[in-house]
Amino acid sequence: MKQTIAIICLAIAVASCNNAATSTSGKDSTVIVPMNAPDLNLPFKLDEPYKNWQIGSKENAVAAMNALKAFVDKDFTKFASLTGDSLDVVFDYLHEKMSRDSATKFFASGRAMYNDLAISMNDYESVISADKKDEWVTIWYKQTWKNSKGVPDSINVINDIKMKDGKMIVLSEMTGHFPKK
């Protein structure tokens, strides 16, 4: 009898050690599986090994949004201060690596196309690779403006911004136009 109780206690102890994901609070618990798990059967091969992204610095998100705010406010001195020595600009039909001065002039001339430019921020995410070599900020927002004739327009925008030492070094922009009424 004592052996049976000892075996049952041992079995319970072993089961409780192996069942660490079970919650005693009555709520479901989540098991986190690393994305680079060897049994992950991805339908597409990655060009580079997965970088095991972690949550990055909120300061990078602030710097990225401050650069966008500088663009909206036509403050290109501030915009330049938030840009690295060069900026790799990736837009639809454009991929060009520009010096800080060239990028500042490019964005200043582009800003002239918009009157009453406003941003409605939806969300952001800052990530850093596990090896700490790559830091990116993604921001999702709606941009509204009026053209030179006063006609309003808007677009959904996603910016992926590679950061280095708190400055933008890559700006990749994807846009989604709203259907015409």
CATH of the domain at 131: 3.10.450.50
Backbone phi, psi, residue 167, to 5°: -125, 150
Specify if 160 maps to a domain.
yes
Q: Which domain holds residue 132?
A: 54-177
Specify if 107 maps to a domain.
yes
Specify if 71 maps to a domain.
yes
Specify if 41 maps to a domain.
no
Specify if 101 maps to a domain.
yes
Question: Strand runs (DSSP E) across the chain, as ranges?
Answer: 54-55, 83-91, 94-99, 115-128, 135-146, 152-164, 167-177
Residue 114 exposure: Cα atoms within 13 Å on the Cβ side: 19
pLDDT tens-digit readout, 25-78: 444 444 444 555 556 889 999 999 999 999 999 999 999 999 999 999 999 999
CA 35 – CA 168 distance, rounded (Å):
27
CA 87 – CA 142 distance, rounded (Å):
23
Whether pLDDT at 12 is above 70? no
> Closest by alpha carbon to 125, among 141, 137, 140, 142?
137
Going by pLDDT thresholds of 50, 70 and 90, the confidence category of residue 179 is: confident
Specify if 126 maps to a domain.
yes
pLDDT tens-digit readout, 78-109: 999 999 999 999 999 999 999 999 999 999 99
Specify if 162 maps to a domain.
yes
Counting the structural domains of the chain, the total is 1
Specify if 16 maps to a domain.
no
